[in-house]
Homo-oligomer: A and B are copies of this chain.
Amino acid sequence: MSSSTPSSQSPSSSAPARPPLPREPAALLELARSGDRVALARLLSYIESGGDAAMAVAELAYRGDMPYTLGLTGAPGAGKSTLTDGLITAVRGGWPAVGGSDGSEQASPKAAAEPESVPQVAVLAVDPTSPFSGGAILGDRVRMNQHALDPTVFIRSMATRGHLGGLSLAVPDAVRLLGAAGIGVVIVETVGVGQMEVEIASAADTTAVVVTPGWGDSMQASKAGLLEVADVFVINKADRPGVREARRDLEQMLDLARPGAWRPEIVDTTATAAEGVPELWGAVARHRAHLLSSGQLTVRRADRLALELRRVLLARTEVKIDELVAGEEFSSSVKALVAGELDPYQAAGRLLAD
């Protein structure tokens, strides 16, 4: 546990004279559930650090309730941070009533098992490409975020994980921890549209893809992947020219895609002026109602857990392979390969037979 990064970056950590935190995950979770943000930050640091402490936290985290997760992805500069800040306000107003506007959605929020009270909200800002740990980014985010001092909002950056599986395992663990701490809605915001970022943002109950007018040219390569994961499209910076074209572009892509039970809504926003954000939250609520009424929420969450388990299995075996690769027998296998005495399949067979 001594190797965990002690990054209790909550504003309250500068408050005078608080008793030292316990080290036990269970005791920390107890404190976190009662609203202690420093305890929650400590638990997240355990998860980030990996190792035995992370496992102990995961054991508690996966016993708790699963929060509703909203994934937010899109090109850098699309305005996701500002949009997230706006969404926090919307989320704190609770789930809006979902009208049966297109007939296919009869679910009312009352169908949900989750309480309709004002949710506590957390933001995980994930940057897999950043070589820095959360501190610096978080500093910026806290300074610019109007909610930084709001006790019902928890904001955390995750950039690296020094341990097996990396962010694709640490983020779901962190989400579950936030749920176990009593947080109802978690927004997972990723910086870009790389493969890992899309993967992380799409491991959500609702995934919103943020584009801007003129996005088509700059994101040609990512289009198909984004179309596949989007439950909601956001055209942000809708005060700029080209909104109509961007919408037509998206509609055409959706027309060409194979029809499913859910056609992603397209919402225009101008996050800097807080315009369109309540409508975006409404679209998220309608998608949630669809997931609840169709039973898809349960299916999606079970699929996600299966995927997580497969990832842990792969990460565990990769650790074993790396131990093998660091060993003497691997070096002599490579020498035999160089000498043309073995091929890689024979060499692998011998290494794995031990």
Tell me the minimal C-beta distance from A13 to chain B in angstroms: 28
Given A317-B321, A352-B313, A308:B344 Cβ within 8 A = yes
Chain B residues whose C-beta falls within 8 Å of the C-beta of A218 in the assembled complex? 220
Closest to A164 in B: B345
Check if A352 sits within 8 Å of B316, measured CB to CB.
yes
Given A316-B352, A351-B313, A59:B305 Cβ within 8 A = no
Which of A2-10, A84-92, A248-256, A334-342 is the contact stretch? A334-342
Instruction: Assess whether A23 is interfacial by the CB under 8 Å rule.
Output: no
Tell me the minimal C-beta distance from A90 to chain B in angstroms: 29
Check if A338 sits within 8 Å of B305, measured CB to CB.
yes
Chain B residues whose C-beta falls within 8 Å of the C-beta of A342 in the assembled complex? 62
Instruction: Name the residue among A309, A343, A344 with the largest chain B CB count within 10 angstroms.
Output: A344
Closest to A302 in B: B338
Given A64-B340, A309-B330, A337-B305, A316:B348 Cβ within 8 A = yes
Query: Interface on A for B, CB 8 Å cutoff?
Result: 55, 58-59, 61-64, 169, 194-195, 218, 220-221, 298, 301-302, 305-306, 308-314, 316-318, 320-321, 324-325, 330, 333-334, 337-338, 340-348, 351-352
Chain B residues whose C-beta falls within 8 Å of the C-beta of A308 in the assembled complex? 337, 344
Check if A344 sits within 8 Å of B62, measured CB to CB.
yes
Show 28 residue pairs from A and B whose CB-CB distance is below 8 angstroms, ordered by the A residue.
A55-B343, A55-B345, A58-B345, A59-B345, A62-B337, A62-B343, A63-B340, A64-B340, A169-B344, A194-B221, A298-B338, A302-B334, A302-B337, A305-B334, A306-B330, A308-B344, A309-B344, A310-B321, A310-B325, A312-B344, A312-B345, A313-B348, A313-B352, A314-B321, A316-B352, A317-B317, A317-B318, A317-B320
Q: Which listed residue (B195, B305, B333, B348) contacts A195, Cβ 8 A?
A: B195
Chain B residues whose C-beta falls within 8 Å of the C-beta of A195 in the assembled complex? 195
Check if B317 sits within 8 Å of A58, measured CB to CB.
no
Q: How far is the CA of A352 from the CA of B316 in the complex (A)?
A: 9
Q: How far is the CA of A113 from the CA of B21 in the complex (A)?
A: 67
Chain B residues whose C-beta falls within 8 Å of the C-beta of A344 in the assembled complex? 58, 62, 169, 305, 308-309, 311-312
Q: How far is the CA of A100 from the CA of B168 in the complex (A)?
A: 50
Having A62-B340, A305-B337, A309-B334, one finds 15 other A-B pairs with CB under 8 Å, namely A55-B345, A58-B344, A62-B342, A62-B343, A63-B341, A218-B220, A221-B221, A305-B338, A309-B344, A310-B325, A311-B344, A312-B345, A312-B347, A317-B317, A317-B318
Chain B residues whose C-beta falls within 8 Å of the C-beta of A346 in the assembled complex? 59
Chain B residues whose C-beta falls within 8 Å of the C-beta of A338 in the assembled complex? 298, 301-302, 305
Chain B residues whose C-beta falls within 8 Å of the C-beta of A55 in the assembled complex? 343, 345
Chain B residues whose C-beta falls within 8 Å of the C-beta of A63 in the assembled complex? 340-341, 343
Closest to A192 in B: B221
Q: How far is the CA of A312 from the CA of B343 in the complex (A)?
A: 10
Chain B residues whose C-beta falls within 8 Å of the C-beta of A59 in the assembled complex? 343, 345-346
Tell me the minimal C-beta distance from A85 to chain B in angstroms: 26
Q: How far is the CA of A351 from the CA of B312 in the complex (A)?
A: 11
Tell me the minimal C-beta distance from A205 to chain B in angstroms: 15
Closest to A338 in B: B302
Q: How far is the CA of A318 from the CA of B317 in the complex (A)?
A: 8
Instruction: Name the residue among A309, A312, A314, A340 with the largest chain B CB count within 10 angstroms.
Output: A309
